């Protein structure tokens, strides 16, 4: 396995393989994210090779973190309404 690329080694656009490596997922998982539209990408050239802009990948990652934060807060709030979990038992 090749070592992860540094920011200096990777240009503005990433291949599916580079994206997969940065996300630490398989190429097929990265491709599925692109095909579903969850990870914005463009097709380049006659062969239609997918390219993911670095800024889009960073936005995708940040959005996943934000989603995880919201879910954590929602779950905490869900437990907050239950008196038996707050220690308010009579």
- Residue 42: φ, ψ to 5°: -125, 155
Judge whether 2 lies within some domain.
no
Residue 59 pLDDT class (50, 70, 90 cuts): very high
Q: Which pLDDT belongs to residue 23?
A: 97
User: What does the pLDDT look like over 12-45, one tens digit per residue?
Assistant: 999 999 999 999 999 999 999 999 999 999 999 9
More confident residue, 41 or 79: 41
Judge whether 23 lies within some domain.
yes
Strand partners, 44: 49
Q: How many CB atoms lie within 10 A of CB 50?
A: 18
Judge whether 82 lies within some domain.
yes
Judge whether 6 lies within some domain.
no
Instruction: Please give the tally of structural domains in the chain.
Output: 1
pTM: predicted TM-score of the whole model, two decimal places: 0.70
At residue 5, the 3 state secondary structure works out as coil
Q: Note down the domain range covering 30.
A: 13-86
CATH of the domain at 59: 1.10.1660
Judge whether 67 lies within some domain.
yes
Residues with Cβ within 8 Å of 89's Cβ and at least 6 positions away in sequence, in order, are 83
- CA distance linking residue 54 with residue 59, whole number of Å: 9
């Amino acid at each position: 396995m090749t070592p992860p690329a540094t920011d200096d080694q990777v240009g503005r656009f990433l291949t599916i393989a580079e994206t997969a490596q940065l996300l630490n997922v398989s190429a097929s998982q990265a491709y599925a994210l692109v095909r579903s539209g969850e990870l914005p990408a463009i097709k380049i050239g006659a062969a239609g090779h997918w390219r993911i802009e670095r800024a889009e990948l960073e936005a995708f990652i940040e959005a996943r973190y934000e989603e995880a934060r919201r879910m954590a807060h929602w779950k905490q709030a869900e437990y907050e309404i239950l008196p038996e979990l707050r220690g308010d038992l009579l």
